[in-house]
Amino acid sequence: MKTTWGDVLSSLDVQAIREAIIATGAATSSEELERLVVLADQLKKADYRTGVETMLERNRIVMHDRGAAPWMNIKKGKLDVRLSEEPRELPPRKEVRSLWANSYFLTSLKSVGYQIVKAG
């Protein structure tokens, strides 16, 4: 990740991410909010190893709450991802800012955000 994305992801605005999570109610607790903000900060600072560990823990918690197994783990020191998409290369750093594999949830999130702002 560091080879592809470099030493800093300056496009990540940790405070804006915090505000968006609060505004949309995307976090179910203050602990979850802090975990997501910490993850954003880890990625911004290119602390990718810790960021991946944070994502693994988040995935474990979410999947447990859904009564399912996590879809990513560490096995024999390597990241083991069980996802039904075709494998692909890590996107270049210049594309990270605007790249999303599936915009479905983003569109829904934007819609909710606009409704919140409009309701004022």
pLDDT at 33 over 70: yes
Question: What's the structural domain count of the chain?
Answer: 1
pLDDT at position 106: 62
Range of the domain at 34: 2-82+102-119
Residue 72 counted as domain residue:
yes
- Angle CA 74–93–90, to nearest 5: 40
Q: Which residues of 18-33 are buried (b: 16+ CB within 10 A; e: fewer)?
A: beebeeeeebeeeeee
Residue 109 counted as domain residue:
yes
Residue 93 counted as domain residue:
no
pLDDT at 81 over 60: yes
pLDDT at position 58: 87
Residue 77 counted as domain residue:
yes
Q: What percent of the chain has pLDDT over 90?
A: 11
Which residue did the predictor score with more confidence, 104 or 5? 5
Kindly state the average pLDDT of the residues 49-70: 88
pLDDT at 107 over 60: yes
